[in-house]
Amino acid sequence: MSDTANASSTETPAGGPPGALEAVIGLEIHVQLATRTKMFCGCELSFGEPPNTRTCPVCLGLPGSLPVANARAVHFGLMIGLALGSELAPRSIFHRKNYFYPDLPKGYQISQYDEPLCLGGSLGEVRIHRVHLEEDAAKLIHVGASGRIHGSDASIVDFNRGGTPLAEIVTEPDLRTPEQASEWLRLLRTTLRQLGVSDVNMEEGSLRCDANISLRPAGASELGVKTELKNMNSFRFIERGIRAEIARQEKLILGGGTVVQETLHFDPGSGAITSLRSKEEAHDYRYFPEPDLLPVRIEQAMIDAASADMTELPAARAERLRVEVGLSAESARLLAFRGELGDYFEAALAATADPAAPAQVLANWVTGELVSRLGEGEDPASSRVRPEAISALVGLVAEKHVSVGAGRQVLDRLVADGGDPEAIVAAEGLAAMDGGDELAGIVAAALEANADAATRVREGNPKAVGPIVGYVMRETKGRADGTEVSRLIHEQLGI
């Protein structure tokens, strides 16, 4: 979590001075639902199959074919609504959104319009406007140099993706900074992953995000003219794209210009923002109720079924980790919002032999020592360090069988080769030295070798102890317990 995750709406954007412009950001997130079959037909969802092999008359929009709504997608939609605290509409309807494009075989997308499945709600500090269900478009592949439709030699269509169920989640414009937007999106992703309703993989397109961005004088209540930035396919691009668009609007406004309502494309390669279409060019989608489908009536049994499938969500997990497990608020949030870390931590905690052992220490080892060795974003479950191993290691350190420094060496070995901490300690001779004569002798040698430092410590400069301790640790290969070393130094110096 970066510091800006907690930024409140009164802060100025992007570190600007007070009185400057404030960014107002809302997100529209498309989530591919992990149902077995498509939104309106029986085709199985596609995961990289050869093009146009997961199709049927319905998702190809062949003449005479009709849609039938996927009950599982409605179920997942209700789970999302419950997770976001939305009002679940007792009756919602599908609409047709009409426009022509080769990736849209019927000439309309079946979506929801003024009667969506879920209304309102919130996640963290961000209010949810609505959640609705719709079908994904097919995939257009532009053959030729540019990779975009303009300037391509030909375009070919793969209908495997066409008709994949989507939940569109629309936030209120409650975000203020690019960092806050990407942090919040991570929280949403974790929440959705926890629900099991989607693979939420941005690179593969199962989670896609558009941002509505406007600027206004800081503290103003009216919204400025917004632009819509399309399809940024990674967290990094979302931050960069929003930052670039804020900068573009800021420059425009400060230069005396005005922002024009339009849809924009962010090119992460060049950082350039280009216009896709202006308000005047905007489609008139001619929404009308889809006559081929009946209204979706949500009965209590459907809500009960969705509730029964709910797992603990990140916000609730953070609260439990803080209150029941006794972690600091910061650790609890980190473990809860990065669900895979939380799962790993809880597995390690369950393997802890001593129920009285402080969980916070284990949490520190997992979120600090382990994460820094594996790299950000790596799931520790797929590393060689088994949760029981890190639990045992933390136990060895806590019981002073192993010093902290030696414990880090053990962890290095666990990350590299896996294995059992006690075996590593035995094999490498890393067991902590007790405070007996051997250690006292090494301390005495250290004081002798660092006579100047010893004098300064005796004269009242505690920081001068560094070289002495360093000598002891070198000599003991880190096996000495730091507290014991410190006690012996003080004893031998008579202070």
Partner 1 sequence: MSATDILELTASAAAAEIAAGSLSAAELFDVYQERAAADRAAGDHGLNCFTWVAESAPEAVVADKTAGNGARPLAGVPLAVKDLFCTEGVPSQSGSRILEGYLPPYTASAVSRLSAAGASLLAKTNQDEFAMGSSNENSAYGPVRNPWDRSRVPGGSSGGSAAAVAAGLAPWALGTDTGGSIRQPAALCGIVGLKPTYGAVSRYGMIAFASSLDQAGPLTRDVGDAALLLREMVGRDERDATSLQFPHPIELPTAERLDGVTFGVPEELTGEGIEAGVLESFHAALDRARDLGAQVREVHLAHAPHALSAYYVIAPAEASSNLARFDGVRYGYRAEEPRDLLDMYTRTRHDGFGAEVRRRIMLGTYALSSGYYDAYYGRAQRVRTKISEDFRTAFAAVDFILTPTAPTVAFGLGEKTGDPLSMYLSDYCTVPMSLAGIPAISIPCGLSRGLPVGLQVAGSAFSENRLLDVAHALEGALAFDGSPARV
Residues 346 to 375 in contact with partner 1, rule: CB under 8 A: none
Ramachandran angles phi, psi of 296, nearest 5°: -85, 115
Distances (CA, A) of 409 to 230, 261, 367, 402: 47, 57, 17, 10
CB of 67 to partner 1, least distance (A): 7
Question: Which of residues 1, 251, 271, 288 is near partner 1 by CB under 8 A?
Answer: 288
Q: What one-letter code names the amino acid at 271?
A: G
Question: Which of residues 26, 67, 163, 342 is near partner 1 by CB under 8 A?
Answer: 67
Helix or strand (DSSP H, E) at 140: strand 139-143
Distance (Å, whole) CA 221 – CA 85:
26
- Residue 64 binds to partner 1 (criterion: CB under 8 A): yes
- Residue 478 binds to partner 1 (criterion: CB under 8 A): no
Taking contact as CB under 8 A, which single stretch among the options 7-15, 23-31, 106-114, 200-208 is the one that binds partner 1? 106-114
- Residue 62 binds to partner 1 (criterion: CB under 8 A): yes
Q: With respect to partner 1, which residue has the nearer C-beta, 54 or 106?
A: 106
CB of 289 to partner 1, least distance (A): 9
224-259 burial, b at 16+ Cβ within 10 Å, e below that, comes to bebbbbeebbebebbbbbbbbbbebbbeebeeeeeb
Taking contact as CB under 8 A, which single stretch among the options 1-9, 55-63, 179-187, 345-353 is the one that binds partner 1? 55-63
Question: Which of residues 19, 57, 147, 470 is near partner 1 by CB under 8 A?
Answer: 57
Taking contact as CB under 8 A, which single stretch among the options 66-74, 216-224, 331-339, 358-366 is the one that binds partner 1? 66-74
Running DSSP on this structure, what letter comes out for residue 413? H
Q: With respect to partner 1, which residue has the nearer C-beta, 113 or 365?
A: 113
| 74-103 footprint of partner 1 as x/- string (CB under 8 A) | ----------------------x-x-x-x-
Q: In what order do the strands lie in the sheet with 288-289?
A: 108-112, 94-98, 288-289
Maximal CA-CA distance, the chain: 96
Distance (Å, whole) CA 489 – CA 495:
9
- Residue 293 binds to partner 1 (criterion: CB under 8 A): yes
CB burial of residue 120 (10 Å; 0-12, 13-18, 19+): middle
- Residue 65 binds to partner 1 (criterion: CB under 8 A): yes
Residues 130 to 169 in contact with partner 1, rule: CB under 8 A: 149, 157
Ramachandran angles phi, psi of 130, nearest 5°: -165, 165
- Residue 18 binds to partner 1 (criterion: CB under 8 A): no
Residues that bind partner 1 in the complex, under the rule CB under 8 A:
57, 60-69, 96, 98, 100, 102, 105-108, 149, 157, 284, 286-288, 291-294
